[in-house]
Amino acid sequence: MRKRLLVLLRFSVVSCLLLFSLQGATGKRDASGAPSRPKLVVMIVIDQFRPDYLERFRPYFVARGFNLLLSGANFVNCRYDCAITVTGPGHATLFTGAYPNVHGIVENGWYDRSLGRAVHCVEDPAAKLVDTAEGPAQQRGPSPRNLLGSTLGDELRFASDFQSKVISIGLKDQAAILPGGHTANAAYWYQSGTGRFVTSTYYVAALPDWVAKFNQQSPAKDYCGKAWEALAETPGAAGKVFTRFRPGPSETCPDANFLGWLNGTPYMTDIELKFAREAIRNERLGQGPATDLLTISLSVNDYIGHESGPYSPELADLTIRTDRYLADFFSDLDRMVGLDNVWITLSADHGVAPTPQFVKEHQLGLGSFQAGSIATAVQQALSQAFGEEQWLRSVSLPYIYLNQAALQKRQVPAEKAEAEAASAAAAVPGVGAAFTRTQLLTGSTGESPLARKAANSFHRQRSGDVFLILDPYAVPVGSETETTHGSPWNYDAQVPMLLWGSAFKPGVYAVPCQAIDLVATLAVALGLNQPSGAQGQPLASALKEQ
């Protein structure tokens, strides 16, 4: 009897949820006046995309690409309030609504003290790579296990009794895996060596037929013989050939060399969005009983941005091409699901610094910064203070990990060693600030914006013993013409924040906005619980009265 009651109860809970979701998915209010819900939410992240790109290249945008989203709610004063601005932490922050001190993705990889080696942020010894329809490869596969807490996608799954589908796509594994969260139906990313979209046994045992078919058709083939030539409208570069693949005498296209070349061209976004269309079609996203979520991380912007910098003609052409690709994608989305039934958001995981060449030319700061000098300075200082030992386990910006065994052997208190290391590192030209683990954990850094940002990026188990922040425009790259990101400075930390769809009031909003506010806003608009660690504030000014 008790069992039957439980079954009945479960049935009625599921029916209520179903009814709620069905009503939500129709895009209308139900009899009780419950607010409308979209059939599909598409969350786009462009890897390394600064808000100034949307202004500088706006005259060249077509009507329904970026301009479609710019006609929605446009938050023009949005940034990451943390000190590490790179892909893994950025994606984790956007989708959990929390900073690395909460979600634990403190870098793309970090030194794991218990394993005694560096780990990748989505590494998972328990998972295998799935790259064929036949089953998993022997290669290790990644998963979201290192992500602490739930994402918006997880909350959507919980609230719909797992009827909402969540699919996440990227060219990089972490950019696909972290946005979906722990309960995503699948995450797919691209293997540049093979030209295939793959996944992990964490999600499925074998590639779905549609993914295997997409791979078999080898979308890269469409670009054989093509050069990357600037569009006629690209300012300062019209018609210029940026790169052309030159095959060797015995090479056939698309071989590994060609795939490597293709991976540095805007054509990758075309391939990625083709894959996203197949996901929508084959997974029937936006056709189910509850709101579905598709996350797409456009990663090639990061590869090209590193190579050429934010003020290059390559970057201009890439941005204008991204606009065209998005316009085509939105138009297909309209055909497949109906834009009336869709909400679309766009943001970025981080921005980027100008190249050292640009920095020097305009006397902005140091320019290229050689990180190797930090390890030498700190090792020397610790040896002088406490005796000859191998004092360092790992130095990888922004962290210094000390050799705890050496500290124990010489009976040096951790706090003392950290302070010595921090002061030696801070003396290196280009290092702007150094906070110790003890300072960050005890809150004794003093009140400063930089200390707050460092604390937001600091996780007790995963972060290092010293946290370094470089001066503005000190760019840790070896070449004058390449560049990178990762700092708390606005060129790295400021990102676009666009929300488009029936729930959002169009307008340009200059109010303060943080990356963590995106899912806080969507959770409210979708009637969901906030993700477990979310700290963001809903961007209420852009939410329509419901």
Question: Which one, 274 or 485, has the nearer CB to Zn ion?
Answer: 485
Q: Which of 302, 323, 349, 492 binds Zn ion (CB under 5 A)?
A: 302
- CB within 8 A of 62, min separation 6: which ones? 323, 324, 327
Options 50-58, 295-303, 334-342, 489-497: segment touching Zn ion (CB under 5 A) = 295-303
Minimum distance, C-beta of residue 170 to Zn ion, in the bound complex (Å) = 13
- CB within 8 A of 545, min separation 6: which ones? none
Question: Which one, 273 or 348, has the nearer CB to Zn ion?
Answer: 348
Buried b (16+ CB within 10 A) or exposed e, 102-133: bbbbbbbbbbbeeeeeebbbbbbeebbbbbbe
Question: Which one, 321 or 350, has the nearer CB to Zn ion?
Answer: 350
Distance CA 38, CA 290 (A): 9
* CA proximity to 166, closest of 35, 46, 286: 286
Minimum distance, C-beta of residue 264 to Zn ion, in the bound complex (Å) = 13
Question: Which one, 120 or 145, has the nearer CB to Zn ion?
Answer: 120
Within 149-222, residue ranges assigned H as helices are 152-159, 173-180, 209-216
Q: How many residues bind Zn ion, per CB under 5 A?
A: 1
Residue 39: CB atoms within 10 Å: 22
* CA proximity to 100, closest of 528, 110, 348: 110
Question: Which one, 283 or 302, has the nearer CB to Zn ion?
Answer: 302
Question: Which one, 88 or 289, has the nearer CB to Zn ion?
Answer: 88
Question: Which one, 270 or 302, has the nearer CB to Zn ion?
Answer: 302
Question: CA Rg, the chain, in Å?
Answer: 24
Distance CA 544, CA 43 (A): 19
Minimum distance, C-beta of residue 108 to Zn ion, in the bound complex (Å) = 9
Distances in Å between the Cα of 537 and the Cα atoms of 137, 182, 437, 493, 541 are 42, 23, 28, 18, 11
Options 151-159, 265-273, 300-308, 512-520: segment touching Zn ion (CB under 5 A) = 300-308
Encoded one letter per residue, x for contact with Zn ion by CB under 5 A and - for no contact, window 168-197 reads: ------------------------------
Options 36-44, 126-134, 180-188, 297-305: segment touching Zn ion (CB under 5 A) = 297-305
Minimum distance, C-beta of residue 348 to Zn ion, in the bound complex (Å) = 11
Tell me, rounded to whole angstroms, the distance of Cα 464 from its chain centroid.
Answer: 22
E strand or H helix that includes residue 128: strand 128-132
Question: Are residues 198 and 191 in contact, defined by beta-carbon separation less than 8 angstroms?
Answer: yes
Options 187-195, 208-216, 294-302, 376-384: segment touching Zn ion (CB under 5 A) = 294-302
Minimum distance, C-beta of residue 306 to Zn ion, in the bound complex (Å) = 6
Question: Which one, 214 or 473, has the nearer CB to Zn ion?
Answer: 473
Minimum distance, C-beta of residue 485 to Zn ion, in the bound complex (Å) = 6
E strand or H helix that includes residue 51: helix 51-56
Options 102-110, 130-138, 206-214, 301-309: segment touching Zn ion (CB under 5 A) = 301-309
Question: Which one, 81 or 302, has the nearer CB to Zn ion?
Answer: 302
Minimum distance, C-beta of residue 455 to Zn ion, in the bound complex (Å) = 24
Minimum distance, C-beta of residue 198 to Zn ion, in the bound complex (Å) = 21
Question: Which one, 123 or 302, has the nearer CB to Zn ion?
Answer: 302
Structure tokens at 74: 């446009």
Minimum distance, C-beta of residue 302 to Zn ion, in the bound complex (Å) = 4
Question: Which residue of this chain has its Cβ atom nearest to Zn ion in the complex?
Answer: 302
Residue type, 60: Y
Distances in Å between the Cα of 393 and the Cα atoms of 215, 374, 378 are 41, 13, 12
Question: Which one, 302 or 465, has the nearer CB to Zn ion?
Answer: 302
Encoded one letter per residue, x for contact with Zn ion by CB under 5 A and - for no contact, window 251-290 reads: ----------------------------------------
Minimum distance, C-beta of residue 168 to Zn ion, in the bound complex (Å) = 19
Minimum distance, C-beta of residue 263 to Zn ion, in the bound complex (Å) = 14
Minimum distance, C-beta of residue 486 to Zn ion, in the bound complex (Å) = 8
* CA proximity to 357, closest of 311, 395, 404: 311
Options 29-37, 263-271, 272-280, 302-310: segment touching Zn ion (CB under 5 A) = 302-310
3-state secondary structure of 384: helix
Question: Which one, 291 or 322, has the nearer CB to Zn ion?
Answer: 322
Distances in Å between the Cα of 160 and the Cα atoms of 18, 22, 35 are 7, 10, 16
Is residue 307 part of the contact set for Zn ion (CB under 5 A)?
no
Options 31-39, 123-131, 296-304, 372-380: segment touching Zn ion (CB under 5 A) = 296-304
- CB within 8 A of 283, min separation 6: which ones? 165, 167, 185, 292
Tell me, rounded to whole angstroms, the distance of Cα 112 from its chain centroid.
Answer: 22
Minimum distance, C-beta of residue 480 to Zn ion, in the bound complex (Å) = 18
* CA proximity to 438, closest of 409, 408, 455, 418: 418
Options 88-96, 107-115, 241-249, 298-306: segment touching Zn ion (CB under 5 A) = 298-306
Question: Which one, 344 or 477, has the nearer CB to Zn ion?
Answer: 477
| 55-114 binders of Zn ion (CB under 5 A) | none
Question: Are residues 291 and 38 in contact, defined by beta-carbon separation less than 8 angstroms?
Answer: yes
Binding positions for Zn ion, rule: CB under 5 A: 302
